[in-house]
Amino acid sequence: MVSADQVAAGLPSPAGRSRAGHDAGAGLRRAGLLSLEQALRGRAAALGFDLCAITSADAPAEAGERLAQWLESGAHGDMEWMAETAERRAAPKALWPQARSIIMLGVDYGASGDPLATLERPDRGAVSLYARRRDYHEVIKGRLKQLAGFLLAQVGGGEVKVFVDTAPVMEKPLAQAAGLGWQGKHTNLVSRRFGSWLLLGAIFTDLSLTPDAPEEDHCGSCRACLDACPTKAFPAPYRLDARRCVAYLTIEHKGQIPREFREAIGNRIFGCDDCLAVCPWNKFARATRDAKLALREDLSALPLADLAALDDAGFRALFAGTPVKRLGHARFRRNVAIAIGNSKNPRLAAALRPLLSDSSPLARGASVWALARLLPAGDFSALAGKALAEEKDVAVRDEWAKGHT
């Protein structure tokens, strides 16, 4: 706790909302009636953070050991950056030795409707809830910088570093240690107030702040998330094999999607929300009130035929400012083709035809698989005969050869 006499007399002008509330807080702070931690929380709320709590930079020891086990098992797949940064990721002080306290922030991204509704519409593409809006990295990072600036202005010194999935930091265990929620059996942080719909950010500082109490596990005997997973990606509660997770396969994985998962992916073209959406703690969730993270309704159920026809400029324009844009057009076409293959709608086969001569082997290979599922065997074989005469890519040739198998 920083005492009142350590506080700078003037507070920086608030750039966020609730100016009046902030100014009132500043008055109380100047009068020594608010602790630094309370003022920080007030400022965080004014900036649009739904949760703000503090933990020590020493926490939490077991997370690093579990990370090592996870990497050892190969569960990170081709996310090599997870292994390369393991040492710094395992402990905040390995990343920044001067760190003494960590302020963890949460932003609610809940929705009013059923986040899984599009799964019932196989001719549409399902984009996960976090991605149907502005990229949270950009929204949250700006706020973290403002909050960090506020903190430094309060004490008149110190150093800070802000992170939102932008550095090797284990955000979930840190958030649990700070008391924002607990890591549920689906491995994400669950909040008693916002259910599974929280995005996280962190401020590291060399200042010593009073830590909050950690949150306890409130999963009990529930296993709804484990049972809901379409690809059986949980080898055990609290353990995720990313190689099987639809979020990894559709967002992170750079190669072709292994055949064993393609059908289970259904029409999910970017990420997956199934394990989050079934969590009973979501009954306390609410639609986010954050205008900067407002849902883009036009992205909730995009026709797959239109998506397959998008050129690169169209793809960039449609997904500008959202996390989907970072996927790149080639992997996007791969995902759309897989979803079309799962549509059971032979009329969508026409949308795949242009992708058969696509410049990307990823898109071509996925389209061949999809076409085999939509066309009668004879029609597919006739196409395969012609295509194999020209196709040079070994993996795509393999898709043609496998055909209906």
- Give contact residues for ligand SF4 (rule: CB under 6 A): 184-186, 190, 219, 222-225, 228-231, 233, 240, 245-247, 272, 274-275, 278-281
Residue 239 sits in the site that holds ligand B12 (CB under 6 A): yes
The rounded distance, in Å, linking the Cα atoms of 98 and 76 is: 29
How far apart, in Å, do the first and last CA atoms of the chain sit? 65
Spatial strand order in the sheet of 302-303: 268-270, 124-127, 302-303
66 binds, among ligand B12, ligand SF4, none (CB under 5 to 8 A by kind): ligand B12
Nearest Cα to 129, choosing from 143, 142, 118? Answer: 118
Are 44 and 12 in contact, with CB atoms under 8 Å apart? no
Quote the least distance from Cβ 302 to ligand B12, whole Å.
16
Are 273 and 128 in contact, with CB atoms under 8 Å apart? yes
DSSP secondary structure code for residue 204 in this structure: E
The rounded distance, in Å, linking the Cα atoms of 23 and 404 is: 67
- Judged by CB under 6 A, the stretch of 6-14, 207-215, 239-247, 384-392 that binds ligand B12 is 239-247
Quote the least distance from Cβ 114 to ligand B12, whole Å.
15
| Active site residues per annotation | 165
Distances (CA, A) of 292 to 66, 107, 108, 143, 190: 35, 11, 12, 11, 22
Return the bridge partners of 229, or none: none
119 binds, among ligand B12, ligand SF4, none (CB under 5 to 8 A by kind): none
Residue 48 sits in the site that holds ligand B12 (CB under 6 A): no
Minimal CB distance residue for ligand B12: 271
165 binds, among ligand B12, ligand SF4, none (CB under 5 to 8 A by kind): ligand B12
Q: Which amino acid is at 34?
A: L
Residue 240 sits in the site that holds ligand B12 (CB under 6 A): yes
* Contact map string, positions 180 to 219, toward ligand B12, x by CB under 6 A: ---x--xxxx--------xxx----------------x--
Quote the least distance from Cβ 80 to ligand B12, whole Å.
12
